Amino acid sequence: MAEPSKVLHVRNVGPEIPEHELLQLLQPFGVVSKMVMLRAKNQALLQMQDVASAINAIQYYSTVQPVVMGRNVYIQFSSHQELATGDQSGQSRQSGSEQHNRILLVSIHNPLYPITVDVLHQVFSPHGFVEKIVTFQKSAGLQALIQYSAETSAVLAQNTLQGRNIYDGCCTLDIQFSNLSELHVHYNNDRTRDFTNPSLPSEQVHRNANYSHNNIMTLLGEAGNFYGMQENGSRSVSFHQQVGPQAMGLNSYQMPLGTASAAAAFGGSLPLDMTGTNERCTILVSNLDPEKLDTDKLFNLFSNYGNVMRIKLLHNKPDRALIQMGDGFQAELAVTYLKGVTLFGKRLDLRFSKYSQINPSLDTHEYSSSNLNRFNRNTAKNYRYCCSPTKMIHVSSLPNGITENEITAHLASHGNILNVKILEPNGKKQALVLFENEEQATEALVCKHASQLNGSTVRLAFSKLTTM
């Protein structure tokens, strides 16, 4: 084993793994002060705040296999004792220097949503006039070439956007300078665009699907190096001062997932009985207890599976309600996981409604702008946490100084609590609460999510854990 170092070397980091997933592996052991993704080698370097934190992480993962998004990763001490940031007199631990250019080569990692020319233009145009965009698929994943009118714009974009997410939790940008001098674009469509020549024709779909390597080389120009790298393939990687990608603020939850993207969100395969192709957003829920349920409690339950837009209780049939979710995929998740669940002694029946949406009215409750909707941020991660109601409840946003007895007292009216354990990852108070059965845990979540406990608004969710 290498000499202990506060820099950790992580191997087998697939292109689908975003930075924040790696950070979650190590943040329980201390602050991660610097990070670099070596995408070409499927590796990463992470610097802890001190050697002791790094040793604790190595010792823990010597007995537990670290897994990220279903992939085994391997952690060891790096031969480096310190990571040098790329903005210190041009020094870097990577060999070679990166020459600035007005054309950027952009790799999009973990692309759970469709990335078109229009999406890329929206992201990159605030930093200067974008002349041309070319997108293409390689074994490393989705990539694009962005040509600015000025080199200064490209430098600004690279400095600003490197390591950022287009959407929350996915579509991470890895940006370097290309060595191409000019992009040659022949068609204006979703894959290629020349913003200086709007009169170019649109290419037929069947020709897009059969582009050969020579076609694309012609499209990119005469430089001959497809990746736009230096001949030795090296590149200088800058470290991000703010560790962990941030999102661009695009409204991802309103963009429905395709089947493949949905499967990627669940680690490669959809939950049993799900198609991922449903387009109906509204659910009819039957066999409710109208004496014990209201729209807020229904929101607390259904928001575990997506963003809730509107809820309407049917006054002529008081044991029924309509729930409009953010998209068809989220509606299918709710139906899959909640159908047949028992709540307040009644077995729920869920089916897709014949109505495409719930129209605003006096008896319709609006939730589309609620800050309690869970899928406005970290969408992909929240999908992976989805499950049927379990006996284990995860409680977050707890106040400092909270005790297990206080948590028990807050939830005990809803069932027999077998165990409570307080956790404090990253200095944030959380807890696991184990009930005697799933119905009791579901009732507690429905009634106490977003409730006040010692001045804090606590959040409850079902946990996939079976033991503490």
**pLDDT tens, 84-129?**
754 333 333 333 345 788 999 998 887 777 788 888 998 998 888 9
Q: Report pLDDT for 267.
A: 55
Q: Report pLDDT for 97.
A: 42
Residue of higher predicted confidence among 174 and 426:
174
Q: Would you state the structure tokens that stand for residue 416, as one six-digit string?
A: 């027999």
* Continuous H helices in 116-243: 117-124, 151-161, 205-209, 213-220
Q: Report pLDDT for 419.
A: 96
List the one residue out of 312, 308, 329 whose CA is nearest residue 372.
Answer: 308
348, pLDDT greater than 60 = yes
In total, the chain counts a number of residues equal to: 468
Cα separations (Å) of 96 from 58, 142, 232? 31, 25, 9
Looking at the chain, the whole-number percentage of residues with pLDDT higher than 90 is 37
Cα torsion through 248, 299, 386, 20, rounded to 10: 30
Beta strands in 15-126 (DSSP E): 32-38, 43-48, 67-68, 71-72, 74-77, 103-109
Give the mean pLDDT of 220-244: 32
What is the phi/psi pair of residue 98, to 5°? Answer: -100, 125
17-38 pLDDT per residue, tens: 777 778 888 888 888 888 888 8
What is the phi/psi pair of residue 430, to 5°? Answer: -140, 170
pTM, two decimal places: 0.49
* Paired sense of beta strands 170-177 and 430-435, if any: unpaired
380-394 pLDDT per residue, tens: 678 878 899 999 999
Q: What angle do CA 136, 138, 143 make, to 5 degrees?
A: 45
Q: Does the CA dihedral 148-149-151-155 come out positive or negative?
A: negative
Q: What is the mean pLDDT of the chain?
A: 80
Q: Report pLDDT for 1.
A: 53
Give the mean pLDDT of 281-310: 95
For the chain, helix (H) and strand (E) counts, in that order, are 12, 25
Q: Report pLDDT for 164.
A: 85
Measured between alpha carbons, how far is 408 from 432 in angstroms, rounded to an integer?
Answer: 11
Measured between alpha carbons, how far is 219 from 198 in angstroms, rounded to an integer?
Answer: 17
Give the mean pLDDT of 36-50: 85
Q: Report pLDDT for 83.
A: 82
Looking at residue 159, the DSSP 8-state letter turns out to be H
254, pLDDT greater than 60 = no
Q: Report pLDDT for 72.
A: 83
